[in-house]
Structure 1
Amino acid sequence: MKDSAKICAGIVLYNPELELLQKNVNALLGQPMEQIYLYDNNSQNAAEIAEIFKNWDNVEYIRNNENAGIAHALNQLIDYAYKDGYDWCLTMDQDSVCAPNMITEYIKYLDYPKV
């Protein structure tokens, strides 16, 4: 499974600091995954977010017109990942920046029985 796993990431947004968000997304783009979903919980700076990421490859910006909470946003991200055929979805919040080899390290454990 680990050699053929389709992996994506999803980040829940709510009024993110834009420079830090870009750093977060850039850190994920260097990982062995195919897609990053940005799920926006009705941020005040939604127009700026959409403008920044409109031409980024493998980044999809999804805007919700209300803040339905983190649990709803995470469920929506998993639904998008499932519908698009992903086996695994890393979920993150907007201000976490992952290590450059995080997904490579995680992939090593995908075949473990309790993972």
Structure 2
Amino acid sequence: MGSPSPERSNRRLARAFNAQAAAALYHPEASIVQVDAVHGGTMIARGAEAIRTTRDAYAGLKPHMDVVTHHPTIAGDFAMTRSQWLITGQDRDGNPVEVHHHGMEVHRRAEVGT
């Protein structure tokens, strides 16, 4: 189940993140960045299991993600987007938490055209 454009893919990812279902949207060999503010260090998480582990670290924050996509570049069956992400939530003590992140995402057109 794909999206008709890279921008919509990022919005779909944010909605899935808010529903704690984002890990299912990634390619099995995808890589994502674990941010210092949540994971205690900046590292690359590679593969489905590492992405699920990364997602699980956010669960305790009661997170909500918003995204703005900038500069989509499309070349054949691939696209790259630059984006800004804001994740808001609460820590264990109920204090507000904000995680800001700039992203670069690679999207691939599926065989069905999405």
Quickly name the TM-score band, shorter chain normalised.
Answer: under 0.3
Higher helix share: 1
Higher strand share: 2
Structure-1-length-normalised TM-score:
0.23
| Higher RCO by CA contacts (8 Å cutoff, separation 6 or greater) | 1
Structure-2-length-normalised TM-score:
0.24
